[in-house]
Structure 1
Amino acid sequence: MSDKTPNLHAAYALKSPEDNKRLYGEWAGDYDADFAAREDYQLHIHTARAFVGAGGQGPVLDVGAGTGLCGVVLAGLGVGPIDATDISSEMLDMAMRKDIYRDAIEADLNLGIPVPRESYSGIVSSGTFTHGHLGPDVLPALLRVARPGAQFALSINARHFETFGFADALRTLERDRIQNLTLPKTRIYGDLAAGANKDDTAFIALFERI
């Protein structure tokens, strides 16, 4: 592990797409060992299991796939095919080395996802909607690439669920774009976690596109 490796505090302080690309590009090579293992990160496991428990199936788009932690769990649960999208090409390179993804799509969600409409039967995202990385304004971009009836499982940091507008956005979408919304809450980290964020929680927004 490099002594220049970014940390969780730096990740939570990100404000712009350019900041995201820079930090995660630097972090890609050490991310799994430096962050996921050391911090006992568990959210990707809970999100993947929630998706499958809700009846989710492929083809799936793993949004903010990073190094592929959630994709590994999905594949282990028999879900496929899976495509990965992320703003960081370096993270996607690490994800593709895991040999679980069909395709890698480099994209800034604020600008949309460069795939045809209704390409996926499932949309999964773990750890992307947190601390200012992205707000609920990108949800329409995810709905655009989802087929009618597609299952979603999106983790959203509980601390920002109301203040960043996710609660209001989901209520609005319930009027005519999504259905069967549930919001189970889970811990982000496991019992071995330490530090200021060890007790953080997230909602997993489970719903279907109408």
Structure 2
Amino acid sequence: MTKSENDRNVSQLHQAYQARTVEELSQSYDHWAEEYETHMKNVGYSHPAMVTSMLTRHIPAGTQPILDAGAGTGIMGELLTAMGYNEITGFDASSNMLAAARAKNVYAALEQMFLGQPLNYPDNHFAAVTAAGVFTQGHAPLSGFDELVRVTRTGGLLVFSLGPVYLGEAFEEKNKALLLAFFGHFFLGLSLCCFFSGRLLFGCFFLGCFLFCCHFFL
């Protein structure tokens, strides 16, 4: 990769991370969509592969339906399809990113939606939900977890990556709030498994499985 190519990669990442509104975010990715996968490959982007690896540890191939939150150009959809998960729904903030994902023919449905706003899916619908590279600076707020949990089935799985901006007290408070919200309701509780890869946290929410919250750092 040449210096000019690296500079373009950094510039595009900076624009996305500095987005202040969902409109700015979607416009940033609309402009980036054509070169997105090449750029991210050059910088060693591995979030979708890590999230897919964690998902395959816990649910068998063929489990459906699965929601890919922040589907982007469809990298996650391709990985999930290769691992035997066939009914995949996705959404993203960028129409051009969705067009690239749609061209891969690995999704049952794709819609333009914004994580942090109400999602157009019924309660308790998905067997598993993935969110790779979504909860990070300038992207989805931690409040987006509320909707992802809502659309995940009791006993289902939510697998996510979490950027450094959310590590620490903010995520701990959100985790506690989710626990309190579901005690005494139709979910029995919430358990969280996490591990670090460099400065990035990956984790799973298991919905309706346990009455406590546990952390595993590998």
Residue 4 (structure 1) shift: 8.0
Residue 31 (structure 1) shift: 0.5
Residue 137 (structure 1) shift: 1.0
- TM-aligned CA distance change 1:54 to 1:158, over 3 Å: farther
Residue number in structure 2 paired with 1:105: 111
Residue 58 (structure 1) shift: 2.2
Residue number in structure 2 paired with 1:127: 133
Residue 185 (structure 1) shift: 1.3
Residue number in structure 2 paired with 1:28: 33
Q: Give the structure-2-normalised TM-score.
A: 0.82
Matches within 5 A, 1:143-158: 143-158=149-164
Residue number in structure 1 paired with 2:44: 40
* One of 33, 50, 55 as aligned partner of 2:54: 50
8 Å CA contact 1:54, 1:206 repeated in 2: no
AA in 2 matched with 1:45: A
Residue 209 (structure 1) shift: 1.8
AA in 1 matched with 2:44: D
Partner SS state of residue 97, structure 2: helix
**Structure 2 spans left out of the alignment, 5+ residues:** 209-218
Residue 85 (structure 1) shift: 0.7
**Structure 1 spans left out of the alignment, 5+ residues:** 188-200
8 Å CA contact 1:156, 1:203 repeated in 2: yes
Instruction: Give, in whole Å, the separation in 2 of the partners of 1:64 and 1:45.
Output: 15
* One of 202, 205, 214 as aligned partner of 1:204: 202
Instruction: Give, in whole Å, the separation in 2 of the partners of 1:159 and 1:21.
Output: 20
Q: Give the structure-1-normalised TM-score.
A: 0.85
8 Å CA contact 1:45, 1:70 repeated in 2: yes
AA in 2 matched with 1:96: R
Residue number in structure 2 paired with 1:197: none
* Counterpart check, 1:16 vs 2:21: yes
Instruction: Give, in whole Å, the separation in 2 of the partners of 1:4 and 1:166.
Output: 31
Residue 90 (structure 1) shift: 1.1
Residue number in structure 2 paired with 1:190: none
Instruction: Give, in whole Å, the separation in 1 of the partners of 2:57 and 2:103.
Output: 27
RMSD, aligned α-carbons: 2.0
AA in 2 matched with 1:109: L
Aligned pair count reads 194
Higher-Rg member (1/2): 2
1:14-40 deviation digits (Å, cap 9, x = unpaired): 12101111101111111111x222112
1:135-186 deviation digits (Å, cap 9, x = unpaired): 21121111121111111101101342225x2221112223435423111112
AA in 2 matched with 1:206: C
8 Å CA contact 1:46, 1:186 repeated in 2: no
8 Å CA contact 1:135, 1:166 repeated in 2: no
Residue 47 (structure 1) shift: 0.7
